Amino acid sequence: MARKLPMIEVGFHIFPQGGDEEVGAVREVAPGGRPELVVDIENAGDFVIPLDAVVEVVEEKVIVDPKKLPDRVVQAMQHAHDAEDYP
């Protein structure tokens, strides 16, 4: 039996499990009825994340397990903040 997740809405922030910085936001939930999210990862664009990679949904935050994501998604998440200008 599939586990039931709390409601995920467009605009919720994406965080890697164990990370403290947001890396993107949800753009679509279950497009075409498929068990996945379309997310915009900062500085990388849109990616598909399977719902089984979602660990937790709390306070408009979607926590995902990087071990359950394709390598290109993990790479994009690791570089989400590369273009930020720090003083």
Q: Give the confidence band of 82 by pLDDT, cuts at 50, 70, 90.
A: confident
Q: How many domains does the chain have?
A: 1
Which of the two residues, 72 and 1, has the higher pLDDT score?
72
The answer as to whether 44 is a domain residue is yes
The answer as to whether 70 is a domain residue is yes
The answer as to whether 49 is a domain residue is yes
What CATH number is given to the structural domain containing 42?
Answer: 2.30.30
- pLDDT tens digit sequence for 13-34: 999 999 889 999 999 999 999 9
Range of the domain at 20: 13-78
Which of the two residues, 5 and 78, has the higher pLDDT score?
78
Beta strands in 3-70 (DSSP E): 13-16, 24-29, 36-41, 45-50, 54-58, 61-64
Query: Do residues 47 and 76 touch, judged by C-beta distance below 8 A?
Result: yes
- pLDDT tens digit sequence for 39-67: 999 999 999 999 999 999 999 999 999 99
